[in-house]
Structures are given as C-alpha cells and as structure tokens.
Structure 1
Amino acid sequence: MLMPTVRQLLGLLCISLFFTASAIAEPCQDYTEVKRPLYGDLHVHSSYSFDSYISSQRNDPREAYRYGKGEAITLPDADGKQAVRAQIQRPLDFMAVTDHAEFLGPIHVCTQDSSKLGYWFPACIATRSSFFILQLLAADYWVNLGVAGSGKEKESSFACTLSDCDAAEKSAWDNIQKATADFNDACKFTTFVGYEYTDAPEFNNLHRNVIFRNEKVTDLPISAYDTGSYNFPKLWQLLRKECLEGKPGCDVMSIPHNPNLSGGLMFPDPKTPQEANDRLTFEPVVELIQHKGASECRFDRLAGRGAATADEACDFEQIKNDSLAMLGSVAGEVRTLEADPVAIDDFGRRNMVRNVLKDGTRLEQDTGQNPFKMGFIGSTDTHSATPGAAEEDNYPGHLGRRDAGYRNIQDHFSSNAGGLAVVWAEQNTRDAVFDAIRRKETYATSGTRPTLRFFGGWNLASDLCENPDMIRTAYANGVPRGGDLPAATEGSPRFLVAASKDPGPPGRIGTDLQRLQIIKGWTDAEGNTHEQVFNVAGGDTGATVNPKSCAPEGAGFASLCTVWQDPTFRADENAFYYVRLLENPTCRWSTLQCKSAGVDPFSANCAVQAKKATAAAKDEGAWGEDVYGKCCLDPEKEPFYSPIIQERAWSSPIWYSATKAPSK
C-alpha cells in the first residue's frame, strides 16, 4: 500500500475542510428568497436567575430549551412542590435564555455546591428554602442588593467573600453557552447565547436583553455592576470594546424591554452623537409586549384620554403603575408604596413606544438624525423556563410558585400571557434570524401566530394584492418593514399590507381577523408631533364570545390584503408608519382560569361564586382573604381591564425622512 506524502495529506485536509465548510453553508431545504415567518422568544429566565430560583423554579437553561422545542417540563405548584406538567402547544422556531447577569455568580454559589462555604450564607439558605416567607425575604435581599438600588455602584453579596463568585459566574456562563450550543439545530430550532442586563434604579426598568449572533461572546456577561446604575450607554461602549472590536467574529445587540415600567427613563435624548449612533447600532428592536404589559400606547377609558394619544385601542394590557414595583403583590395585597396607580396625566410620555417614535421624527428635524428607529418584537419574560408560553388557554403563569394555581389570579391578575417575536427570514439559522432582527424585518404578537406582511414604496401597484407574485414584486419595488422609504417622488407613498389568521394549534382553529390598521406618526414644520390611525382593511365584524363557554361567536376574515396610499402625506415632514392587526374578540387568560375555579366574570352572581371559591382555596391552604375577588372586577369601573380581549400583532415601522434621502 502506498503511503501518501505530507503534501498530499495537506491537500486532502484542505479539500475536506472546503467541503465541510460548503456543507455548513449549504442553504436549508426550505430556504426561500421571499422569506417566511419564524416565531420565537428572546426573553427567558431559568433557575440561573435569582428571582426564578427563589420562586421554587428549578428548571435550568437546558430545560428551558426543551420546553421551547415542545417537550414537557415540570413546574412548581402554589406550595412549591414540583408537580405541574407544562407543555407549549406549538414549538418555537428560535429562542434565547436570558438569565440575569447580576447575581449569576452568587446564585451559582448559593445553589450548586454545598461544599462551598458561601453555600451556607444565610441569604443563600433563604434562597434555597421552600418556606414562602423566607423566599420573600430572599427576594428582598437580592433586589435591594443592587438590581433596584439607586446608587451609582452596585454592591456584592457577602456570599462572595466566602466563595469565589467570579469562578462561579464563569462556570454558569460556560454552562449557558454549552446548553445553547447543544440545542441549536440549524434549519429546525435556532438558539442564541444571551443574558439580561438588569438595572432598575428606584424600580424603574432600564433592562436590556443582550443577544449574540453566534458562539463568539464576551468572556463574561457585562452587567450593571460593570456600568453602574443609570448608565446603560456604557453597556453599549463595553459591548463595542469587548465584542465588536475586541473579539473577531463577535456580533451582538441589546433589546430594551417593557419600557411601560421604566418611569419614563428608558429612552432619553442622546447626550452625544456617539450615544445616538450606539443606540442605532446596538438596539435595532424594542420589546413591545411581555408578561408585564404592552408598551405600544396608553389610553385610560375612565379618564377618556390617553398618554399623548386619542387611540381607544391603546387600553390593551396596560399596568396601572409605571415601575417594577407592580410585582410587589403578596396574598392579594400590594406591599410596595411605589406600586400606586399613576394617573394618565402623570404617566411618562416615553414609557410608550409610539411616543418615542414620534419624538424620534422631531429629533431628526432638529439634529438631522433619528436615534429612535426601532423595530418591534414581543417575548414572554418568563421566569418559569417556559419560552413561548403566551397561550391564553394554556398559561401556567410566569414566576414559579408565586403565580402558580390560585396565585395567578390573586397576585398577578394584571399580568398578561406574554408575546412572541416574529422574524421574516430566508431560513431558520442563526445568521438568518439575527440578520432579520438587525434589519428590523420583524413583528410582535400578543401570543397568537397570524402572519403579517408590510411594504412601502412609491411604485407599488394599487392592484398588487391580485398579483400572484405579490411578495417578489413588493421586494423589487418597495421596502419591507424596518426599512426607509427612498427620497420622495411625485405623489404620496403606497403601502402593501397582507395578513392571514393564525391557523391555531393542533385540534383548535385559530381566531379570525377583524381589521388591519396603519398607524402614522410625524412632526410638522413647527416641530409638533402628531399621530393618526387609519383603518385600511376589514372592519367591525360584530363578532364576540359566548359568555358561558367563551367560544367565539361571529365570523371575521381568514385573510386581508390591501394597498393603501397616505392621503395626508407631506414631503417636508418626517414620518413613520406601522401596521396593527386586530383579531376578533376572545376570552382573556384570567377569564378562563376564573371560570375553571367556578367563578364567572360575566355572571351577576360572580361575587358569591368568588367567596365560595376563595373558601375552598383557603381550605386547601391558600393565603389571603379574597383569593378570587379580582375575577369580578367591573370593566366599566376599570381603566384598562376587560374579561374579553383582542389579540393583536404590530409590524415594525417604515420611516420616511424629509431631511435627507436615506439609502434604499
């Protein structure tokens, strides 16, 4: 047998590497140039997060990925026993586990190795305890240690003087990366390495989810300990230094989430041009909806007016206050003073993303640059390792035992089932999904899965909906959501909007569509911002729900498509446009869970039923005097709540710039 020479071996190795690389780069079998919708969740906490672990939640990142793929996992019940089987009805296409960077090391010390001295630190013992009061004390310890503190510098846990928290953090970070790599399945299920940057001074939410493109990541998560409080721009600086410029192949974004609870602090005017550029570089999208409310816009039905809006559809899933103190409810009573309701006139304008977008058009008029060009996604913010658990009829809660069983109604009634992130991508791979988010070709949903297309341009034909090659033509003659219209020509821009209803999970038909709306925001020549809602397809179908069964009554639309031309367009005004899709009415998760407990929100005898259900729950060990009383809230006396909701989706905007001609 002839032995190959060294040169021949090297040649064979090069050929092998070439074909291996080619195989890796080979498109997926379902690759499509016109893209398809992929549904995901980029805000997921596991037992590696302090607030998940202290809620008796023991599923780690691997279990979270299993759940996202459609497998069943076990959650704690209201007593903290691992006894609840949870499974999503439809698997996700992509996801990221985003455990808190803050306390990642200390929690690892507290929970993983009893041979370490720090494991026996009193706060660690309370963290591991199954006794509810001790868990609440542990929660208070961790929150006040730094997450919600107002100091410029964060404090470290005393457990770190007893054990090496740096080594523990590195171990946890390595475990997260390993789990993410193990569950990434190109073309089938995409996973991203990520974490949450958690700064909440005075309970004002300034959180971001940091998502990496691939396995090239920072050596450790960059946390609020590294930046100090009130200083998220430094997060961008450090990500640039340690990732974009400091590590070949590293790419990253940070996603601000639920600004409705930020006390108006999430989106300040940039202090410098560099800060504006960093925001545009690192924050292409914003989380528009999650368990702790919707952040599109705000309308108070009782006051009859909104936060810089007259749009009555903006009453959807609003929280009564404007900070994370809304989480301080125990045994049916709010225990934090900061959780008092905030009047509509006192509510921070930029807590709502629509107002941020409007202010961006004004800033562009003043400075020539719009720092607030953000697309939309939704996610869950689950702390139960249940990514995508946004189904109203299959909602297990999102905070371990603290909203399991009866506690979901008692303490987390104002929370919603969460949302989903949807991207239009050529295929289900890390690069394709990441690139779709980077170019803002995304939309958010309140948990259902309708499809939604949105294009803008100057030359879109009015009969484009009848074109069998509609989408290719729209890409060729316009820009998709997240894009910028080219410089104005004669006339006004046209927009293609096309949507199809959610087909529904196995065994259940999805909800019909009701209407499609285009929301326009702009700044006039005097520097005043405006908004207008246009109904462009569909309309009030008269559909409702059966109050006894919650079954839908009345038909809507399986699909809607239209080409709409802006009748108010002015070439000298900066503007943006996005689509809001509304489904026919359905029952809220709380309505379904109240009914399952024998309490009917639609019944004249609701209060009597609630007392009976409360007595039965207390006989089983429930805390609190009025466990099911919230089921009987009168929507006529509530500014936001209704037992019936309209699930919805929001497309990323398309922008028009009057100050300069953006590239197409």
Structure 2
Amino acid sequence: MVFLIGIVLIFTVNTWNEGWFSNPSSPKSKNPDVVLENQTQTQSKQILFGDLHVHTTYSMDAYAISLPMLNGEGAHPPKDACDYARYCSALDFWSINDHAEGLTPKQWQEEKDLIRQCNASAGDPKNPDMVSFLGWEWTQMGTTVESHYGHRNVIFKDTDEDKVPARTVAASGPYTELFSGPPFLMRNILKIVAPGGNRQAYYDFADFVTDRLSYKHCPSGVHVKELPKDCTEWAATPAELFEKLQQWDIPTLVIPHGNTWGFYTPPGITYDKQLKGKDHNEDVQKLVEIYSGHGNSEEYRPWQEVSIDRNGKPVCNEPSLGFEPSCWRAGEIIRARCLKEGDSAKECDEKASIARENHAIAGVSGFNTVPGADLDDWGNSGQCPDCFLPAFNYRPGNSVQYALAITNFDNPHKPRNFRFGFIGSSDSHTARAGNGYKEYWRKGLTEASGPEKPNAFGMMEPAKNRKKPVSKSIPFSPKGLGPFEIMDNERQASFFFTGGLVAVHSKGRDRDSVWDSLNRKEVYATSGDRILLWFDLKNSLGEKSEIVAPMGSEISFSQNPTFKVRAVGAFKQKPGCPDKSVSGIGAERLQRLCKGECYHPSSERKKLLKSKWLESFLKFLRTSPFPN
C-alpha cells in the first residue's frame, strides 16, 4: 500500500494535546543516513502561515460587490492586499489571484509591479517579514457535469519579468461574461440610475469594463512566447491550461478549489473525469484547497442532489440520510401551494413531479423554477446536514475525500490517483488575505453582501423575487437574465465564512523555502486558527531514528504504519492591533482595512478537543483508493 502523509484541520479548535495511534510496524528498509537527515529536517523546520487565494477589485465580481448598490465599501486595489496581509493579518506569505477572465494585460502588469514592491518592503530576502507570490485564478464553469471543470489558482514561484507569463490565461465557457462585466446597455443604465448613490463609482466601473472588453483574444494554436503582449489568452479545459503553462516552462503550482460549492457546480457531478488524460498534471497540480470562506470541500457523503440517466438527463433524487435535495424541496413547495388552492392530491402530486424535473434540469439555476419562493420555503435543502461548515448546495461527488478514493485505470499497467497536499485559504474578494484571525465584521470579512433596497432598482435580483407565488413550476430559460440572476446569490449569502489558512513546515522564511515546502506537500489546512501540527511517520521502537518521514511524503508499506501526531492550539487574541501595525501604516488606514482589529496574539493558547481532531485524523486515514 502507498500512504500519502498529509493532514487537515478544517475546524476551529479549542487545547493542545499530543498523541500516537496505530500499531507499531516498520516500513521497508531505509538508509540510516536518510532517516537521520529526515529527523534533523523535521526538528529544524518552522511552521509558517499563509493565504494562496486573494482577490482585489481587479476581479470583476469583486469590483461589483464594492459598488454602492450592494452596500459595497469601495475599491480595494492590490496595494490594500499587501498592507492587509502584512499589518492586519500578519501573514508569513500570500498570493494575489484575481480572476484572469477580467484582467487586462495592463492590470496584470500593475499586479506584477505591486507584488515586487510588496516584496521589496519585506526586508532581507533571506529572512523577509512576508513573501508575496504572483498568480491568477482560472475560473472555469460549465452548465453540465460533462462541461464543468471548476476553478483553479495558478501561482508562480518567481516575480522577475522574465520568469512570469506576459499574460494571464482565462477560462472560456458559457459563464465567461460573468467575469467580463455587464453589457454596454446595463453599464449605461447603472451610470444613469446610480443605485445607492455615488454616480462616479458607476462611471469608473463602466470605464473598467469597457477597457477590459477592448482587448482582442489571442490567436489560437500559437506558442505563448510568440503571442502579442496586448491580447487576452484563453483555455477551455485544464489540459489547455497546463499546455500553455508548460510552454512558459517556469516553476508553477495549479491548485483546484471550491469543488463542492454548488453555487456554480452542476448537481450530480463527480471528480472522475478530472483524473483522465491531460486534464490532470501531477507535476504542477500537487495541492488542493479544501477550505475557504466559501466553505468546506473535504467531506464525502453517499447522497447526490440528482442522478444522471442513460441519456444524460438529470433526475431528482429522494431525500436520504438527512439530506433533502433542493429539487425535491421545489416539488414540496409547489405541492403545498397546490393543496392550499384546493386542488386534488393527485393533481398536486403531478405538479410536484414536474417541479422536481424542472429544477433538476435547471441545475444551479433551479431556484428560478419556483416563482416567489423565499429563503424560508427552501429551508435547509441542498445543504450537507452533518458536515463542518459545508459549501453551499454541497456536491459530495466532487469532494476531496472522493477524489482521493478514486482510481483511473485507462492505463491498466499504471493506475492513476490524485495525491494532493491540503491547503486552506480565504478566497477573499476584498483584498483581505488571512481574514479568519478574529470572528467579527461579517460584511467586511466575508462576501455576504447585498442590496440595501429589496431589489436594487430591479437590476441585482432575479425576476422570481418580483413574482407572486403560483402553484406550478416554470421551466428555466436563461433568456433575458443577467449573470446575477442565473445563480442563487441571495441564498448563498447565508453560507459565507471567514477564510482558512495554509500552513507549511519550512526550513526558512525565504521564498525558496516556502516554495519548496509547498512542492513537497509538507502542508496542512486550518479553518482560520494558527494551529501548530506535526504529523509524521514514526519508526518502530528500537530504531535509530524516531521519525522516518514528515507529512507530504510518499512511502510504500507492507504493514500498517505508525504515526506520531502533535498539535498545539492557536494563540488567543487580544483586542486591537499591535504597536508595529499602528506604526507601520497608521491607525486610520488600519481602520479602513480591518476596522482596527489585527492579528494580535496573547501568550495564552486555545485548547484542542482531542476527540475532535483525532476523529478527523482517523477519518482521513480511512480514505484509501478504490477501483472505479
């Protein structure tokens, strides 16, 4: 058997504890010098915390939620991200990851320059106060399980001009316009109406979008280094993205994220096709983000919202194991309305069946098929009832546990598995990297934004919210609907959280050391607290060295392994900000960025509940590959 020694803490925990589990056994023979080297390396490393998923208002959706019509607080450019990471959340490293679909070549150059400036302010490059990485997000979304691949962050080791791509690579597909901005007519209506006030904000937004749309697409089939610098580059699949990155031939990591997030992920999906052919590249796709401000993507459950029949048509499943599919709830809403109007039970059953079918076919837009339904009508449907802070409209077939368990046998002589290291990050859209250090200010630290008026002059909420409840379902049609109307923004707002973190065991604070740790997968995830964790393969009693290999290692065994696990709770926080933050950028800017509340550790640590983290470890160890 092969064990990947990785681990995740995706819960906010409360002690410190130390323990071992499993029966002692020896791995296959190992060079004593290598064993001693591993032991020395494990003892000499430090744990650093970072965030590898941060958006600024250079992302189109982030710009939209900064506008007055959504009660936004105004723009947060890349400079804010650097200052927040350094002075508010006091991270050791972070990366910028604006949506490539909305980035112009000019903005990409500005981000490269900003990241270099941020690093230049970090002090000695061999021992910086913070390492800033450059990257973007490839934001692919499909309308069906066949066409959907999901979102990936692309991160580069270096920042020198000749060591980073000249252009970002965006994801082409049916939802491309969602991150390219509203059409010309809508932009001008916004300037005229100026919902929420501050007309200048809408003029600036319109100019931002117009500039983005003025760039032509790069020609296809041309090597990336031969393309003009001022065009926008696109890739429809992960395979195309990997090919373009390989042509640049620079150190790169590609990190999938939000896999179970049903806000945009079609129901009934599984991760199997992601393991096929060139749509997975083990050389760069080594890590997966399992927790963010959009929820937990780790846990597998045996239920699904829909099943896919032989003709590829989604069919609504019945409730199971405490889970109620939203398509099923749609039928129950229509049934209740029908009975209230005095129709027969038979007729209402037929209407409920049609409602389930319409919702299942509509996928992520199913909420549009039940006119006038409100949050109370939908209840807890679509949600994982026993998961830790689950992503909205949970898709368990796309979970990390499912991905780890599957095997691809397209080449029977070389079966293929995912061997991910696990990270957490924020997915902040307000330039607030590592925003989970204190639980406060929900509107600023999560994406739970919305219009002050019920429908923002009819432009920001679906027409369903302006229709009266009726006793029959309406088949979904995207005709005439804008991007904000296709997805369930209103209900999603109840399922945003503060972000997670990625922790690395690193030999130093410098860029090379952090990057090497990420590549070794010597990482773990937390849901925001800076928990210290060691999860090592342990040698049997009497051996010269106690530790054989740290987390992230891949070792072959003929017997059950033994692990040594140690965990220490995060520091409890003091109110306010430390003096170095105040002296760094001043109280006024700290108030603007983080409401005067920074990462400000005391000398007292939180307690870990042994049963909680031990249960999580054991659950992870039981996840083993099985044949498809």
TM-score range, shorter chain: 0.5 to 0.7
Map 1:138-149 onto structure 2 (within 5 A): none
User: Which of 424, 444, 450 is the equivalent residue of 1:378?
Assistant: 424
Against the structure 1 CA distance between its residues 306 and 54, is the aligned structure 2 distance closer, same or farther, given a 3 Å change threshold? closer
User: Which of 533, 558, 564 is the equivalent residue of 1:496?
Assistant: 564
Give the conservation status (yes or no) of the 8 Å contact 1:326–1:339.
Answer: no
Q: Which residue of 2 aligns with 1:99?
A: 98
Q: Are residue 393 (structure 1) and residue 439 (structure 2) matched?
A: yes
One-letter amino acid of the counterpart of residue 47, structure 1:
T
Q: Which residue of 1 aligns with 2:500?
A: 419
Q: Deviations over 1:166-198 (max 9, x none)?
A: 5x3454444444444445543221110111111
User: Which of 486, 490, 512 is the equivalent residue of 2:607?
Assistant: 512
Name structure 2 gaps, 5 residues minimum.
1-40, 67-73, 173-231, 304-318, 325-359, 386-392, 455-488, 576-601
Q: Which residue of 2 aligns with 1:291?
A: 293
**Partners of 1:412 and 1:375 in 2: CA distance:** 29
Q: Are residue 255 (structure 1) and residue 255 (structure 2) matched?
A: yes
Against the structure 1 CA distance between its residues 201 and 51, is the aligned structure 2 distance closer, same or farther, given a 3 Å change threshold? same
Against the structure 1 CA distance between its residues 270 and 354, is the aligned structure 2 distance closer, same or farther, given a 3 Å change threshold? closer
Against the structure 1 CA distance between its residues 429 and 299, is the aligned structure 2 distance closer, same or farther, given a 3 Å change threshold? same
Q: Which residue of 1 aligns with 2:516?
A: 435
Length, aligned pairs only: 384
Q: Are residue 238 (structure 1) and residue 211 (structure 2) matched?
A: no
Q: Deviations over 1:178-232 (max 9, x none)?
A: 4444455432211101111111223967111111011121111111147767512
Residue 39 of structure 1, CA deviation: 0.8
Residue 453 of structure 1, CA deviation: 0.9
Q: Are residue 355 (structure 1) and residue 402 (structure 2) matched?
A: yes
Q: Deviations over 1:76-95 (max 9, x none)?
A: xxxxxxxxxxxx4x411110
Q: Deviations over 1:33-80 (max 9, x none)?
A: 63111111111111111111122241211111100112xxxxxxxxxx
User: Which of 137, 140, 147 is the equivalent residue of 1:199?
Assistant: 140
Map 1:138-287 onto structure 2 (within 5 A): 166=105, 168-185=106-123, 186=125, 187=127, 188-202=129-143, 206-215=150-159, 216-225=163-172, 231-242=237-248, 244=249, 250-261=250-261, 262-263=265-266, 267-269=271-273, 273-276=277-280, 278=281, 280-287=282-289
**Partners of 1:171 and 1:227 in 2: CA distance:** 15
**Partners of 1:483 and 1:406 in 2: CA distance:** 53
Give the conservation status (yes or no) of the 8 Å contact 1:325–1:339.
Answer: no
State TM-score, norm by structure 2.
0.52
**Partners of 2:620 and 2:63 in 1: CA distance:** 42
**Partners of 2:121 and 2:363 in 1: CA distance:** 35
Q: Which residue of 1 aligns with 2:351?
A: none
Give the conservation status (yes or no) of the 8 Å contact 2:300–2:397.
Answer: no
Residue 259 of structure 1, CA deviation: 0.5
Q: Are residue 486 (structure 1) and residue 532 (structure 2) matched?
A: no
Residue 399 of structure 1, CA deviation: 5.7
Q: Deviations over 1:586-620 (max 9, x none)?
A: xxxxxxxxxxxxxxxxxxxxxxxxxxxxxxxxxxx
**Partners of 2:169 and 2:379 in 1: CA distance:** 29
Residue 391 of structure 1, CA deviation: 3.7
**Partners of 2:497 and 2:102 in 1: CA distance:** 27
One-letter amino acid of the counterpart of residue 514, structure 1:
L
Give the conservation status (yes or no) of the 8 Å contact 1:38–1:422.
Answer: yes
One-letter amino acid of the counterpart of residue 195, structure 1:
W
**Partners of 1:339 and 1:437 in 2: CA distance:** 40
Query: Which secondary structure state, in structure 2, belongs to the residue aligned with residue 357 of structure 1?
Result: helix
Query: Which secondary structure state, in structure 2, belongs to the residue aligned with residue 193 of structure 1?
Result: strand
Comparing 199-208 with 339-348, which one deviates more in the overlay?
A: 339-348
Against the structure 1 CA distance between its residues 429 and 412, is the aligned structure 2 distance closer, same or farther, given a 3 Å change threshold? same
Q: Which residue of 2 aligns with 1:626?
A: none
One-letter amino acid of the counterpart of residue 49, structure 2:
Y
Give the conservation status (yes or no) of the 8 Å contact 1:306–1:344.
Answer: yes
Give the conservation status (yes or no) of the 8 Å contact 1:424–1:441.
Answer: yes
Against the structure 1 CA distance between its residues 324 and 208, is the aligned structure 2 distance closer, same or farther, given a 3 Å change threshold? farther
Quote the sequence identity (%).
24
Q: Are residue 35 (structure 1) and residue 45 (structure 2) matched?
A: yes
Give the conservation status (yes or no) of the 8 Å contact 2:424–2:500.
Answer: yes
**Partners of 1:35 and 1:66 in 2: CA distance:** 27
Against the structure 1 CA distance between its residues 327 and 438, is the aligned structure 2 distance closer, same or farther, given a 3 Å change threshold? farther
**Partners of 2:450 and 2:565 in 1: CA distance:** 38
Query: Which secondary structure state, in structure 1, belongs to the residue aligned with residue 536 of structure 2?
Result: strand
* More relative contact order, 1 or 2 (CA 8 Å, 6+ apart): 2
One-letter amino acid of the counterpart of residue 97, structure 1:
I
Query: Which secondary structure state, in structure 2, belongs to the residue aligned with residue 427 of structure 1?
Result: coil
Q: Deviations over 1:565-600 (max 9, x none)?
A: xxxxxxxxxxx9559xxxxxxxxxxxxxxxxxxxxx
Query: Which secondary structure state, in structure 2, belongs to the residue aligned with residue 402 of structure 1?
Result: coil
Query: Which secondary structure state, in structure 2, belongs to the residue aligned with residue 297 of structure 1?
Result: coil
**Partners of 2:42 and 2:451 in 1: CA distance:** 42
Against the structure 1 CA distance between its residues 451 and 177, is the aligned structure 2 distance closer, same or farther, given a 3 Å change threshold? closer
Residue 371 of structure 1, CA deviation: 3.3
**Partners of 1:498 and 1:53 in 2: CA distance:** 42
Let me know the Cα RMSD of the aligned residues: 4.5
Residue 293 of structure 1, CA deviation: 1.2
Against the structure 1 CA distance between its residues 333 and 179, is the aligned structure 2 distance closer, same or farther, given a 3 Å change threshold? farther
**Partners of 2:367 and 2:81 in 1: CA distance:** 23
Give the conservation status (yes or no) of the 8 Å contact 1:62–1:179.
Answer: no
